[in-house]
Each structure stands twice: as structure tokens, then as C-alpha cells.
Structure 1
């Protein structure tokens, strides 16, 4: 066989009903497609078997993670072109297409079968989450999910995230660096929470301690941070000790549901609520509400998806569930606000920072690509490939408004419904350099 690329292109174009916008380079050395286009590299026929055994996103993801599928050229351009052909073709007038009943799908599958080689189910790459048991979002299962995502090595995260060690959407100004933007995001959160000397701050999902350190050092807050990741906690505690802030910050390996030492003056939840899940989100809102003093503020920073026409049909992304965020769920921002208000909060401000996350993800991808060999040595080639694909595809999703990210500032009302907020509360819109000097 020396014409696999041509045969695959013909199969794909017959199935799609249009020209394939990428070149294909096959395992037999053949290459075919439009000159100058990104090249989809199929290094092994096993990639086709993965697609046949697991049609759709999961089969493609397994081939990518295993190194059997790659892109030669601009990854973002290739994903953009392929998304329009693959991921965006699953519905007609809003209704799902049933692939087994589609004769084009059956013909495409038969053609792949002739090229795929032995009809043996390939073993999933070791980076894939194995079968999970038990109810969603129990303490045990949540801890396992967090460990899969975060306990892959602090050295790996240092390479990807850079010196800030902040793993959430940054807040950009033109010409700024990733580190500048992450510092500005942390400061934005502190200003929205109106932190001042001596305030008690609970940082839910505290990561590697960056928010806690910023709030204690720049605003004089006394901070408790909780995480389910033992590696994160160890790293955060070392940073805190090195910064001389151990008297102001406590980091715990603890589930937020087990925090009992309120009330707190303020709570930050930055990129954590995506792990909570729909079945637990009201419980999360109730617990956070109970931990705040009357007049205390919550800053909930959370990725949001677009509402479905039929919410019961919502399906968690197969690739992300299997390789990135096991059991993670996204909710529309309106649903998040409704549940927070059902729990007793008053929503005071919502800021969409969707475009900022696209810039952040592109910065992380650039870091990973720059340090690729070290990243592979630190974790595994498969894990590094998971992260490169996940972050690049996510950047495009934010750019194309498929998903968003929002900061919701909410208040636990005081007696008589008082918010204890100034009439003109948006002082945080001033730049970080314009705020008063820290009193700590």
C-alpha cells in the first residue's frame, strides 16, 4: 500500500461532501491534499482502528495521545479547520444525527475498515482515566478526580504556567506578559472582595497558593486555603514559608464541605466550581453561604457553557472527561447565578472575561511548546500531548464563543437586606497600579 493518503482523502471527501481543507500524510509515506495546508499526520493504522472502535471524539483523542495522530504546521489552524468538519457536524437544525442510521457514515466506516488492518481493539493510552465507580461527586471520587488532574508533578505545571503558578484565566492589558496578567487577575479579585488588613479570606481550591500569597502580602489578609491535591498543598506551603507568610496563611488538604471554622469576611473560588457538578452545586452554594459573615463577599470565577435547547441532552465532553477533568461539568452562567441566589446570595456584579482566557491558554501552550522535551521527561509524552491538545482546543472554544468564563461577585446580605457595599462599587475597574499601597 503506497496510496493510503489519497484513499483516506477520497473517503473523507465522499463522506463530507466537500474538499478536505488539510493535507494527509499517512503511515506508508504517502501525502495528499491542498498545498500549504496544515498536515494531518497518521503515523500508524492503529489510529483508524481507534476511530472505528470508538467513533468520534474519544477515538480521535486516543490516537492523538498515543502519538499515532499528529499535526505538522499550525495546530490552531488545523483544529479550526477540522472542528468545522468533525465536531460541528453532529446536528442538523439543532437535532442530533444518529450515525448508525446514516448511510454515509456506514460507507465511511467500511472504507476505513479496509485500511485499518487487523480488527483488534487497541488498548487505551495509560493517561486515560480508568472506569470510575460510585456516585458522582462523593468526597472519595472528587479526591480521585482532582488527583488525576493536579498530581501530575509540580515541575510540569511550573513549565506550563510559568512563575505565577496560577491555573485560571488571567486578566490582560495590551502588551502585558502572562505573569503580569495573572498578577492583575489576583489583584482584581482582592479588590472586588474589598480585602483589608486583618480580613479572614477562605480560598476554595487554592491551587499552589498564589491567591493566598497575594492577598496576605498585598492586602494584609489572613488566609485559609483548601485543596484536595496533596502535591499542590506541599508546594504552596513551601512558597508561603519562603515568602515569610506562614503566620498569615494556612493551607489544608481538605474538602470545602468539611470547612467548619467560619465565619469568613470573604471567599474566593477561582476555577474550582467546575469540579463541583450539577448534583452538588446547590450544596456548594449553601456551604459557602454558611461560611460567610453577613455582608461578606464571594467571588466565584467559573467557566460557563452555552445553554442547550434541551438541557437534559447536555453531554460532558468525552476527551476532557477521559483525559483532563474527570467528572468536571460546565453550567450556563444564568444557572450558576440562580443557584447562588437560591442559596441566599445577592449577585452584585458579573464580568465576562472570555477573551482573556483565550490569551491565557495560548500563553500556556507557548510555554509547553517551548519546554516540550523537559515536559515530556517530567511527566510522559502522552500527558504532554493531552495538555497541548486540550489547551489549544480550549483557546479556540473561548475565541469562538463556544464557552465563556465569568467572575460573579455576590454578597451575603446583612440584617434588613443590607449589602454593605458603596453606592458606586466598581473601584476595582481602576488599574492595579492606581490602587492605594498595601497596609500589610
Structure 2
């Protein structure tokens, strides 16, 4: 008798003290749950064993990456419904992919409580039988293994960057499109292409930095070279880009050579802490500071401050999480840490501004681009889904599943104001306090 799905939904509703919002289809073909809702497909018993051994987010993610579970009928809608069950939600709670201030999610606690309840013990035992015997399944190969040493040392940072970025330039070409910009785009209206929106963002950065012919620009975390190429081509600067990713550097150098800009653009595999050839007229840091870590952030800010000439500007483009009541209790999201950004950390906007000021910067402008990032992520997800077979072939099926889940969930987090992204423009003032800055924002945006 095919009855796994009804039995699992019954247990889930008892454990969570709420209705299960998705329809469930089990490996035996049985279904249960509200008709018309997105379908959570439990393809194999192994997926249930992952959830039983590790209830909550990490068990779900491992089952997803391994292909033990899938979703039909709308990934965004399903994630929105699941977020209220698996990840704690409150007015100020961070969203999926942004970390949490609580020690444990409500889902695992509820499941453990249900298993201790004599009224449900027999039923839980039946579910264990459904899952089948065996030890916990090994994590998917895409999961980061145990790391040694202190976080944010140069060696460990290089390894973390390699995990995230050295998965194949071909894969990123499929996801990011021709612009090869891996950060929030700037959308002018309902129409327009992703490439146009990324070009608008790069141009906005150049204008905020006040770039002019012959200036020296340092791009920290230069990725595949899009910012330095744009600044050299359109503003005539001499640009240096640094990255810890050897694959990114090789790709960026080829782009520079193809554009005939080797005399004006240099790409280095180098830690920002090792840059010694200042002063620069401007520094851009776009989507890089999330890798720095809270304990290292003041050093990061001081390093960039010291690399600038008096009057030089910094444009820091960085994702921010919502503040929580007890900042000391904040911990990094398990999915993000193990599958996407090892050792990555998000900070509240206020903490970022304070550290920049502590380093000696004068903060002159802050612009929030939160809604723009949700739309950017949806464009990347669409690119991935449209070329799924190619993407899986150039990396792995599991890695493609990681990125689809990560980007879709992150899009929802930006749209629901669980995380944001901000451009902070700061200046190293000269002796006597002169900034050289325009009097109003309108002057540098004109």
C-alpha cells in the first residue's frame, strides 16, 4: 500500500503544530497535502534519512543537493512557504542565507519534542521504518569539509575563495551572462537587459569615485575583471585588480588582452593585505567585503584607507544583514557556510559605516539597492534554468543545484527585506579636513 506521503505529512503537522503548506509526493508514488500547492518531491528514502539524522535546514539542503528531494510547481513559492517552518521568523530575524541569532531553528526542536511525546512515539517509529535502516548518508561532495586554522588568515581565505569561485569560468558565463559581473545590477525600469543593468551599475561606481583620465584605480576582489575594464575603457584610468582566485585572474587577463588594454590594466592574484604600491586615487570594493569577516573588518578598512591618497575615495558595495538584539549570538547560516561562502559573514550597515569611520574615513553617501539585487538574482536563476544541462555538465549536478537554491532563496531574502545591499562612498580627507568632494550628490551623478 502506497501511503508514505500521508503518514509523513501527519507527523510533520503534529511536530510543527501547523498545517504542512506544500503537497508531498513520496518515493512510493503516494501524495498528500493541499492540492494546488507547490509539490515537495521526496524521491528516495535516503532523503528522509538525511532529515531524520539532521532535522532542519542542513538536512533539507543535503537532500536537495544530492537530488533526494525536488520541488515542482514554483521554487520561489515553495521556499517562501518553507521558510516559515524551517527557519525562525520574526520582525527582525534574518532570512535564508543571512545567518540567524538563535541557537537552533524551531523545526528541529519541534521534531525532537514530537519524538519524545508518547502519543506520537509509535507513529515516529513507523516513519523510521519507512526511512529504512542505515547510518546517516554521507554529505554530498559539494559540501565543504572540515577546515583547519583560524578563519580569515590569508591561507584560509584563499581556500575559501577557491571553493566559491574556482568552479569553472564556463559555469559563471552561463549564469552571469556576457557582463561577467557577480554583484547587484542597477535596473533603470521594467525593461532592459541584465547586461545593460550591470553596465549602469559599473558606471555609477565610476561616477561616485570621480574617475578621470590618468587616475589610478584599485579594484579589490576584481572578479573576472569587469570593473577595471569598464573604468579603463570609459574613464581612461590606469587600473589594478586583485583577486585570490586563479581562475578569475586567468579569465580577466585574457579579457584585458583581448581589449588591448594591457598597458593600462593589471590583474594580480594577490591578497588585499599585500598590496604595497599605493597611493591610489580611488578604490572600489564590490561584493568583496562579505568575505572579510567581522574581526578583520577594521584591518580591511585601515588597509584601504592607507592605500588612498588624501582626497581619494572608496566605494564599498556590500550585502548587509538586519541587526539582531544580541550580536554576540549571531552565527553564519549553515547552508551558506558549507556550500556557498565558507567563512563568509554579513554585517549590519551601521557596523560597516562605524568600522570605516574608525579607520579614518569620512562617510559621504550611502545608497540602498536592495530591490535591484532581488531582480538581479532572479535573472541569474533564469539563466541557470534555461541552460541547466550545460551548467550541470561544466561543473556537477549537485553544484548547479546549490546555486539554484542559493540564488532563489537569496532573491526572496532581498525582496522580503531580510537582507540588503548598500553602496557606501567614503573619502580619505586631507590634512585640515579637505575632502575634494562635490557639494551635493546631484553633482557626481550628473
TM-score between both structures, scaled by the size of structure 2: 0.93
Query: Residue 261 in 1 paired to residue 277 in 2?
Result: yes
Residue 68 of structure 2 is matched in structure 1 by 68
1:295-351 Cα offsets, whole Å, 9 max, x none, are 000000000001110001101000010000000000001000000000000000000
What's the CA shift for 1:380? 0.3
Q: How does 1:179-258 map to 2 (within 5 A)?
A: 179-258=195-274
Q: How does 1:417-428 map to 2 (within 5 A)?
A: 417-428=433-444
Query: Residue 404 in 1 paired to residue 420 in 2?
Result: yes
Q: Distance in 2 between matches of 1:106 and 1:324?
A: 35
Q: Distance in 2 between matches of 1:147 and 1:105?
A: 41
Residue 312 of structure 1 is matched in structure 2 by 328
Q: Distance in 2 between matches of 1:162 and 1:309?
A: 39
Q: How does 1:35-46 map to 2 (within 5 A)?
A: 35-46=35-46
What's the CA shift for 1:271? 0.2
Residue 432 of structure 2 is matched in structure 1 by 416
CA RMSD of aligned residues (A): 1.9
Mean alpha-carbon deviation: is it higher for 319-328 or for 416-425? 416-425
Residue 83 of structure 1 is matched in structure 2 by 83
1:119-152 Cα offsets, whole Å, 9 max, x none, are 4110110000000000010111000000000000
Contact 2:438 2:444 in 1 (8 A): no
Contact 1:100 1:106 in 2 (8 A): no
Residue 303 of structure 1 is matched in structure 2 by 319
Contact 2:286 2:318 in 1 (8 A): yes
Q: Distance in 2 between matches of 1:264 and 1:388?
A: 38
SS at match of 1:266: strand
Q: Distance in 2 between matches of 1:272 and 1:427?
A: 27
Structure 1 residues 132 and 95: CA distance shift in structure 2, 3 A: closer
Structure 1 residues 90 and 11: CA distance shift in structure 2, 3 A: farther
Residue 118 of structure 1 is matched in structure 2 by 133
What's the CA shift for 1:262? 0.1
Q: Distance in 2 between matches of 1:27 and 1:266?
A: 57
Structure 1 residues 27 and 428: CA distance shift in structure 2, 3 A: farther
Q: Distance in 2 between matches of 1:169 and 1:358?
A: 8
Residue 170 of structure 2 is matched in structure 1 by 155
Any unmatched runs of 5+ in structure 1?
Answer: 431-440
Contact 2:273 2:303 in 1 (8 A): yes
Residue 433 of structure 1 is matched in structure 2 by none
Query: Residue 172 in 1 paired to residue 161 in 2?
Result: no
Q: Distance in 2 between matches of 1:255 and 1:263?
A: 17
Residue 160 of structure 2 is matched in structure 1 by 145
Q: Distance in 2 between matches of 1:87 and 1:50?
A: 17
SS at match of 1:416: coil
Mean alpha-carbon deviation: is it higher for 410-419 or for 17-26? 17-26
The size of the alignment, in residue pairs, is 430
Residue 113 of structure 2 is matched in structure 1 by 103
Residue 368 of structure 1 is matched in structure 2 by 384
Partner of residue 132 from structure 1, selected from 118, 133, 147 = 147
Residue 395 of structure 1 is matched in structure 2 by 411
Contact 1:4 1:115 in 2 (8 A): yes
What's the CA shift for 1:415? 1.5
Q: Distance in 2 between matches of 1:141 and 1:193?
A: 31
Q: How does 1:330-369 map to 2 (within 5 A)?
A: 330-369=346-385
TM-score between both structures, scaled by the size of structure 1: 0.94
Residue 436 of structure 1 is matched in structure 2 by none
Structure 1 residues 189 and 9: CA distance shift in structure 2, 3 A: same
Residue 434 of structure 1 is matched in structure 2 by none
Q: Distance in 2 between matches of 1:117 and 1:262?
A: 62
Residue 343 of structure 2 is matched in structure 1 by 327
Residue 295 of structure 2 is matched in structure 1 by 279
SS at match of 1:417: coil
Contact 1:350 1:406 in 2 (8 A): yes
Q: Distance in 1 between matches of 2:52 and 2:2?
A: 22
What's the CA shift for 1:422? 1.8
Structure 1 residues 145 and 8: CA distance shift in structure 2, 3 A: same
SS at match of 2:88: helix
